[in-house]
Structure 1
Amino acid sequence: MAHPCTTLPDQQVRKEVTADVATHRKPKQHPLAAGTARTAVTLALAGAASAAALDGTALAAPHPTPSQLRAQVDQHYREAEVAAERYNGAKEKADRAEAALDGLRDQAARKTERLNAARSALGSYAAAQYRDGGVPAGMQLLLSSSPEQYLERAALTDRAGTRRALAVTRVRHELRDVRQVRTTADSRLAELKREQDALARQKRTVEAKLAKAQELLDQLPDESRAAVARGESASSAGTGARSAPAVTTAAVRTPGPATPGGAQAPTARAARAVAFAYSALGKPYIWGATGPAGFDCSGLTQAAWKAAGVSLPRTTYTQINAGQRIPRSRLAPGDLVFFYSGVSHVGLYVGGGRMIHAPHPGAPVRIAPIDQMPFAGASRPA
């Protein structure tokens, strides 16, 4: 018989075993553990917020200074001028293609008139042959009251046959010429369409660059905006042109016609070109314009030399090769002076280290030092 103190009921044993197992499954927690975890989470979130705030501050771009804005305006104006010169080149090609197309259309009209006249003459011959060809030649001789008259008519008929053959040949030639001219005109029309598409693209580029420049100008203070309107660039004081050789105007040693500014031009034509440039002072810059109401840079130089009886090409990059290349140290009034590595700007030299040029939109035609921009070269029109 078992001892009562060592024998437990089955239910009591199961409760104790269950409690013991549960105790082993659930680890004990330190009294400070829960608080520490909450504190760590709080600190981590606070640190993340601080880091985000710091990152946001670091990523925020500083507002550009007026000098930086002016430099950006200058850049957009230069890019617009490059695009404008490409526009001028595309317009020149489009104008040539259109003029050629108009000439071909006139030629086609004249040839069509000649073709219609040849066809009409051939039709008359055909009608006469139809009228006379219904009676056999032997019967015509029998029915003729005069054999001599018949033979005379037969000779005329032979000659008429020769004329008909010539008329047929003429119609064929005229028809071939009309077709050839029309084919050439179709080719010119396709060329014109390509040039017009290029023109539209360059126009959109120019307008976009000028719009961006205007947007930046609106952010400038009044003083800086006025400086841009005067044609002063943000970097004009630091261009490499100042280290170039000094200008020793050749015209000083070889007296020639006087210009409105008092300098002496090497030739009468150069003096007339300079006089025209002086007369254009104050007129607005209009991109793509060659006067008389306004000019862009190459439009002004082209118009000035046109007034002197010399035809220049339309763009800066073609004008620089239009005459004799001149070193900077030998500049004379009337010479064309070019700027920037892409030869995207041109002015007319007037002596004393100065030029007359059309700077950019908002800055009218004016006198400016040639040191104001990076010098790229010069040429002297013939």
Structure 2
Amino acid sequence: MKESLPMARVLTRTHTGDYFKFLLGHSRRNLPVVSRGVAALLLVLAVVVGPAAPAAAQPSLAEIEAELDAQWLKLEPVIEQYNKVRSELKANQKKAAELDKRIAPLSLQASLAADEIGEVANSYYRTGPSSELNALLKTGSPTSLADQLLVLDRISKRRQQQIAAVVETRDRYLAERQALDELIAQQKAQDEELAEKRKTIDAEIDRLEQARLAAYRTTGYSGGSGASGPCPAESVGGAAGVAVGTACAQIGKPYVWGATGPNAFDCSGLTQYAWASAGVGLTHFTGAQWNQGQSVSRSEARPGDLVFFFSDLRHVGLYIGGGMMVHAPRPGQPVQMENIDNMPVVGFKRVG
């Protein structure tokens, strides 16, 4: 019996098809024998293969969502720090461009003025004063060459003082430009460092998101779509009404970190986009938006106010009344309505 088991393994792997052909080739009078042979073969196969090993338990949807939430708690502060660096970098690059516009004419003005002094002096000493300068000198009634030279010297000194003022302003701008260049270089380095850190966590988020989508396909569930009900929960007019209406119109669009619309958003990108439609500029960074608004209590909150979450201000939504907001939650969850009490509220800010 010990020797027959290896033969059975060989049979099942290489000769199963030939064996069944052999069995089927027998005449009908040998059918009972064939049946007994088939039964014996099936018994051997059952012994060799054995019962199937139990499949590893797949995580439930709730477990996958919980793991995604845990990973998101790590990633969202990184993204907001990235948004901070990016917004500051853009602001400083804009300042640098504005300084360049101021520096260029000042440099030209100083250069032209210096050239002008040189030309006047050279012309005077080479050919005598021009008719314009001669008229100016005669206005002071100079009676001698020494008097004429004194007048010219005074003109030159006044012009030099003007040049000195121009050069001083230009040099101050150049110093500011140099400081900005250093800051921009630091921010670019921070941007690259955060990008690398974000890649690591993004890869894990993507892995979990694929597991989440697979679980949804298995169960036929399409994933959470946020709270139902009218949007906005309370009607409001003016600029706040425009912002709220714009936010409500984005429901269902995907979350993409760093996105500011119109096809995808992150949390501060959505609030920036909503209020931009009402003519109010917000920085694409939750911390900056916190400082751009006026604090209001929860009892005073009204549609259009920004509502912030967590002690580090990592998340923001647009309040729409009735304890509800529109926000961009995280990857895998589109822009949606949600009860503000599903996260720890730290405050409300009014803009516009």
Could you tell me which residue of structure 2 aligns to residue 222 of structure 1? Answer: 215
Q: 8 Å contact 2:253–2:264 — kept in the other structure?
A: yes
Tell me the distance in 2 between the aligned counterparts of 1:371 and 1:228: 24
Find the residue that maps to 1:320 and give its secondary structure: helix
Unaligned runs of 5+ in 2: 1-55, 129-140
How many residues are paired up? 280
Tell me the distance in 2 between the aligned counterparts of 1:199 and 1:213: 20
Tell me the distance in 2 between the aligned counterparts of 1:290 and 1:360: 14
Please list the CA deviations of residues 58-89 of structure 1 after superposition, one character each: whole Å capped at 9, or x if unmatched.
xxxx9783344432211222322211111111
Q: 8 Å contact 2:233–2:322 — kept in the other structure?
A: no
TM-score of the superposed pair, with normalisation by structure 2: 0.68
Could you tell me which residue of structure 2 aligns to residue 167 of structure 1? Answer: 159
User: Out of 74, 78, 83, which is 1:88 matched to?
Assistant: 83
Identity of aligned residues (%): 29
Q: 1:159 to 1:272 in 2, by over 3 A?
A: same
Instruction: Report the CA distance between 1:184 and its aligned residue.
Output: 2.0
Tell me the distance in 2 between the aligned counterparts of 1:229 and 1:127: 84
* Amino acid in structure 2 at the alignment position of 1:381: V
Find the residue that maps to 1:342 and give its secondary structure: coil
Instruction: Report the CA distance between 1:189 and its aligned residue.
Output: 0.5
Could you tell me which residue of structure 2 aligns to residue 108 of structure 1? Answer: 103
Find the residue that maps to 1:196 and give its secondary structure: helix
Unaligned runs of 5+ in 1: 1-61, 134-148, 237-258
Q: 1:98 to 1:156 in 2, by over 3 A?
A: same
Could you tell me which residue of structure 2 aligns to residue 76 of structure 1? Answer: 71
Could you tell me which residue of structure 1 aligns to residue 116 of structure 2? Answer: 121
Written as runs of structure 1 = structure 2, the 5 A alignment for 1:286-297 is 286-297=256-267
Could you tell me which residue of structure 2 aligns to residue 350 of structure 1? Answer: 320
Find the residue that maps to 1:264 and give its secondary structure: coil
Q: 1:172 to 1:348 in 2, by over 3 A?
A: closer
Q: 8 Å contact 1:76–1:210 — kept in the other structure?
A: no
Q: 8 Å contact 1:231–1:359 — kept in the other structure?
A: no
Find the residue that maps to 1:219 and give its secondary structure: helix
* Amino acid in structure 2 at the alignment position of 1:263: E
Instruction: Report the CA distance between 1:328 and its aligned residue.
Output: 4.0
Please list the CA deviations of residues 252-280 of structure 1 after superposition, one character each: whole Å capped at 9, or x if unmatched.
xxxxxxx9646223x52221111111222
Please list the CA deviations of residues 276-303 of structure 1 after superposition, one character each: whole Å capped at 9, or x if unmatched.
1122223332222222232210111122
Matched, 1:310 2:280: yes
Tell me the distance in 1 between the aligned counterparts of 2:77 and 2:322: 28
TM-score of the superposed pair, with normalisation by structure 1: 0.64
Written as runs of structure 1 = structure 2, the 5 A alignment for 1:252-331 is 261=232, 263-265=234-236, 268-328=238-298, 330-331=300-301
Q: 8 Å contact 1:231–1:360 — kept in the other structure?
A: no
Q: 1:184 to 1:63 in 2, by over 3 A?
A: farther
Find the residue that maps to 1:378 and give its secondary structure: strand
Matched, 1:195 2:190: no
